[in-house]
Amino acid sequence: LLPTHFALSEMLLAVAGSFAIAQAGRISTWFAIGLAPIALAGLVGAIRIAVGMTGFIVDLHGFLSRPAALFGLGCLVAVLLRRQPWLPPVLGTIAMAIATFAPATTPLLFIGLIGAGAILVYRAATRRALIAAVSFAGLLIAILVSARFRSAQPALSWHLFHTLVAVWFMLVAAFVIPVLQKR
């Protein structure tokens, strides 16, 4: 069982995610759906830690954090591509299936989808393109920065990762979603 304070940064992530989802939902349903798995992972994580649950909920949190998060990233990239309306669920499902059946590819999928999304945001932005692209890439930054502390200071790594993902949600709401709105 994890200490209760671990639930705090999970809840921070869930709250920030809810805000970004609400902002995105006004412009693109699929973009909002793309943000949802990571926010739900935060909510599930906060509940499981606060209540001290084990078993299935741990697996659910892991699924939302990895394969479902890749589904979401696939949806985000597909929305940014501005192609057919069926593309977000298809690209999201393909990313999730690859992560589920070939979990070793998960880091490469995260890097590829985040990189593609950052490039697409940069190209679509009419103003502040660099900050919009860096904002989209903030999820990768959160992964890389927190990973440095994972073995030596796991609690710091945990809180740093979840706090940086919450910041990522706020940056997406502030700089990426407006790019969608102007298109």
d(CA 56, CA 167): 28
Q: 3 pLDDT exceeds 90?
A: no
pLDDT in tens, 68-80: 999 999 999 999 9
Calculate mean pLDDT across residues 132-156. 95
pLDDT band for 95, please (50, 70, 90 cuts). very high
pTM over 0.85: yes
Quote the CA–CA distance of 116 and 156 in Å, as a whole number: 29
Provide the percentage of residues in the chain whose pLDDT is more than 90: 94
**Residue 20, pLDDT score:** 98
User: 131 vs 17, 76, 121, 126, 175, CA distance in Å?
Assistant: 19, 17, 10, 12, 7
97-116 pLDDT per residue, tens: 999 999 999 999 999 999 99
Between CA 157 and CA 46 the distance in angstroms is 16
Q: How far apart are CA 121 and CA 51, in angstroms?
A: 39
18-48 pLDDT per residue, tens: 999 999 999 999 999 999 999 999 999 999 9
The two three-digit tokens of residue 98, written as one number: 């690859």
How confident is the model at residue 2, as a pLDDT?
Answer: 79
* Overall average pLDDT of the 51-73 stretch: 94
